[in-house]
Amino acid sequence: MKRVVFRSWWLPYLLVAPQIAITLIFFIWPAYQALESSLYIEDAFGFSRNFVWFENFEQLFSDPGYLRSFKTTLIFGLSVTFLSMSMALGLAVAANRVIRSATAYRTFLIWPYAVAPALAGVLWFFMMNPTLGIVAYWLEAMFGYDWNHYTSGTEALIMVTIAAAWKQISYNFLFFLAGLQSIPKSLIEAAAIDAASPARRFWTIVFPLLSPTTFFLLVVNLVYAFFDTFAIIHATTSGGPADATSILVYRVYNTGFVGQDYGSSAAQSVVLMALVIGMTVIQFRFVERRVNY
């Protein structure tokens, strides 16, 4: 709160007008539309629509395909989060130990942040291509394993998981590194004097002190995996094979634009909105505590 402010009855409205106009037209209004049409069922030609209360939602949650998407999203989100966070933590701990050439290492570790999710997907799609991908070739040559994400749903999910995690490592790395650097050196030194081994120091001092960062990243990564990975799926597997990689955001798109089932798509939008709102609330409640910490 500012003590000193300017006085004008019209200027502030003019200043917020562009932001508010765009928010209302492109955010609030469509969100309201989604809410509204989730309660209607439209006929195939869009001539008439009937108010059906929560029938769209009932249908949605009794649709095994949708429930499977829920499960896929959860598995995908958790694996991406775990994979990228654990690798990033390892790298951050290592980078924090290095004194010389630390900047050089950092430079090489942060650039994937700038790579678009769609491109990350395409890069790994190429690497793992069953006929000419180098990873598929190595799997065949070394383990005799026949990798084919066109036929195996599990393998397709593994591929998009790796691509999504690969892109997110730099982000997590930067936050973990910042968190590590804010831990007072004196604590570590005191533990070292008490003859605690590096591993023990990490698990009893460093890791607990990092928990605010870890929790923050946990939420951010889940949001990333749930919503920002649409491009990875769409550019590579298109939800297939047999729906195995069709996560929730992909399904909303597919139901609405390809299947043209507006009621169901709107109901899915509403479910997703509830999900984002929940996660944002968690994130912000936590961030407030992080500032105090």
Chain positions 46 to 65 lying near another protein, rule: CB under 8 A, are none
74 binds another protein (CB under 8 A): no
SS3 category, 289: helix
Minimum CB separation of residue 291 from another protein in Å reads 7
The pair of structure tokens assigned to 28 is: 């609030």
Applying CB under 8 A, which of residues 67, 192, 242, 258 lies at the interface with another protein? 192
List the interface residues with another protein, window 197-216 (CB under 8 A). 198, 216
Query: Would you tell me how many other CB atoms lie within 10 Å of the CB of residue 245?
Result: 27
Least Cα distance to 41 among 242, 268, 266, 224 occurs for 266
Cα 50 from Cα 39, distance rounded (Å): 8
Strand partners for 49: 42
Applying CB under 8 A, which of residues 69, 172, 253, 267 lies at the interface with another protein? 253
258 binds another protein (CB under 8 A): no
Least Cα distance to 53 among 42, 71, 40, 63 occurs for 40
The pair of structure tokens assigned to 261 is: 């089932």
User: Which of the stretches 22-30, 54-62, 78-86, 153-161 binds another protein when contact is defined by CB under 8 A?
Assistant: 22-30
Cα 131 from Cα 147, distance rounded (Å): 9
256 binds another protein (CB under 8 A): yes
Minimum CB separation of residue 134 from another protein in Å reads 6
267 binds another protein (CB under 8 A): no
Is 245 or 265 the residue whose CB approaches another protein more closely?
265
Q: How many residues bind another protein (CB under 8 A)?
A: 105
146 binds another protein (CB under 8 A): no
183 binds another protein (CB under 8 A): no
Is 119 or 158 the residue whose CB approaches another protein more closely?
119
Applying CB under 8 A, which of residues 40, 137, 215, 286 lies at the interface with another protein? 137
Cα-based torsion angle of the residue sequence 12, 13, 17, 23 in order, rounded to the nearest 10 degrees: 100
SS3 category, 42: strand
